[in-house]
Every structure is written in structure tokens, then in C-alpha cells.
Amino acid sequence: MQSVLNSVKGTALGVAEYLTPVLKESKFRETGVLTPEEFIAAGDHLTHHCPTWSWAVGDESKIKSYLPKDKQFLITRNVPCRRRCKQIEFVGEENLVEENDADGGWVETHHYNPDEAGSSGLEEKVCEMKLDSSRIEDEPAADMDDPRNLEGGSGAGNEDGGDEDDDGAAIDMDEFEESGLLETVDPSNALLPAANEKRKSDTTAPTEADGDSVVRTRTYDLHITYDKYYQTPRLWVIGYDENRKLLSVEQMYDDVSQDHAKKTVTMETHPHLPGPNMASVHPCKHADIMKKIIQTVEEGGGELGVHMYLIIFLKFVQTVIPTIEYDFTQNFNITNHK
């Protein structure tokens, strides 16, 4: 049902974008939006400082007249994604460890709850180590004046098994090699697999189901387009498995924060490319977030230039797709930027 609603909403916004006039006057500082010219300036700044990003044209039939023909949208390819979001998101209670701390106390998110564990709790997972006092009392202390104790008990052992040092003269190595016994215990031969085992290992490919420890890294292509209706950048992502096979919709949602999946992030048609729908971070809140950042910088005595827009944009949308490792852009200090 949610996908149907998103599809209807996307169609309506497409019509609204078509009817919305192109923004001509800059309102960056007042409202956090961009004109197409400011989007191009911010894109040029991004590609200059982060060369993994580049401008792209897209499909000729989908070229937007308000953007330069050779700068329709931005793209970066083969961005690694080594973990799923559920592997880094912890859902549970927080335990306040230090209540009287001036900064609000330490918070322990992974704490032990004895009520939930019952009798099979922590005490069963910890091995208790103690001395057997009864055994110590029963056994007499060793007499260190006894030569047998000083020699590590070798005297007692010689009484039962004889003197191990008098087994005979050492074997001559030349005679040992001529006897052929060396070949039977050759460690290099012992480590080689049998012929049938080698053929089997060559033809059987390892799989994750067989317990293969190799990390299967997904990759994503990321696009940034200009949304004429919201007058802000918009992020698009499309994922592939380790064999460069397109991920399913649900697989891509595995790499989206669960607070945003199917809400902030939806599957929609790319404005510049044909083909399958791509996951997109909806831009309805982008301008408000940017406006707050601009105000924070100015309150700190700084000034934020429009060319920095995409650098900051990529940092705050990282919370939506935290496991896609694309953010290699320059650092930005929000409290002191000029």
C-alpha cells in the first residue's frame, strides 16, 4: 500500500515540478534553496575537491533546458557498502550508568539485565576457577631434599620404564635416508591433498551458505540531481551485489536506516535516466535543514557560501544511508566557518 501511495505522490510531484517556474533569484540564505546556477556552482566545487564525483548527461530525451547540457546531474560509481544497517543499529533500552555527571551521565546501551536472563544468565557464561582444598590436604608436600624431586621425577619414571637415555646409539642419517623411511613421513607430501579432493575443491565455488568468511561487498552508484519543485539537490542510489548484479528493492532497503526506509527513501523514476526505479532520498526537508545550518554558522560569526551546499548536503544525508561509504569530502566545522 505504501508503494502505491508513493507512486501516486511521485506522479503528482512530477506534474507540479513541470508547472513550477525555474527559480531565478537567489534565496539561499533566507530559505536554504538553490537556483540552477547555484546548483552548478556547488557541483563544480564538489567535483574539484572530490574527483570521484563527476558531471553526467543522461538520456538525450530527458535533458533539462534550465541546466547546461553537459552538467545535468552528478554521479559517483562503485561506492562500497560492506555492512547492512541492521548490523550497526542497536534497538534496546539505554542504561544511565553515571547519574550525577554534569554532562547528563554515561549511557550504556548494551547492558546486562538479570531479570531477562534468569538462571541461565551471566554466571553460567563465566567459568569459576578455584583450588580443590581437599586434594591439597591429602597430598603431602614434596621433599625438596630428595634428589628424585630435584630431577623432575625422572628417577621414579626410570624405575617403571627403564632408563630412556640408554636406548642405544643415535641413528645414522645416511642409513635412515637409504632405508626409505624419510619418504613415508615427508611433511611436504602429507600436506598435499589427494587428487580427487583437489579436483573437487577446484570445481566447487564457495558460498555464504557454506560458511565462507569472505566479505561480500555491495557497491552503489550515487546520483545528485536538481529538483526544480523543491529547488534543492536530490540524492539517488542504486545497488549491485559482488557480481555487479542489480539488487532487489528489499535488498536496497537493507542499506537504508530503518527510520527512513519506505518513508524518506522511496523507489522512484530517475529524472534523467530510463530503466528501473532507483531509491531516492526525498528532498522535502532539505531546504529547512540547510537553513538551520546557515543560521548556526552565522550565529557563530561565520559565513556559509553557496558553493559549500553539496559538501554539507552529502554529510547530513549520510544519516539516511550510513553504511554506504561515499563521504570522502572535505571536513566542515559548523561552529567556525568563513
Phi, psi of 277 (to 5 degrees): -65, 155
Report helix, strand or coil for 60: helix
Place of cell 635412515: 176
Residue count (the chain): 338
Annotated active-site residue 284? The verdict is yes
**Alpha helices by DSSP H, the chain:** 2-19, 28-31, 36-49, 114-117, 122-125, 133-138, 147-150, 154-161, 173-178, 181-184, 187-190, 195-203, 249-253, 286-299, 309-316
Q: Taking a C-beta distance cutoff of 8 angstroms, is the pair 35, 26 a contact?
A: yes
- Cα dihedral 162/168/169/172 (nearest 10): -120
Number of neighbouring beta carbons within 10 Å of residue 52: 15
Task: Spot the catalytic one: 50, 85, 127, 284.
Answer: 284
Phi-psi label, residue 204: left if phi above 0, alpha if psi -120 to 50, beta otherwise = beta
Enzyme catalytic residues: 284
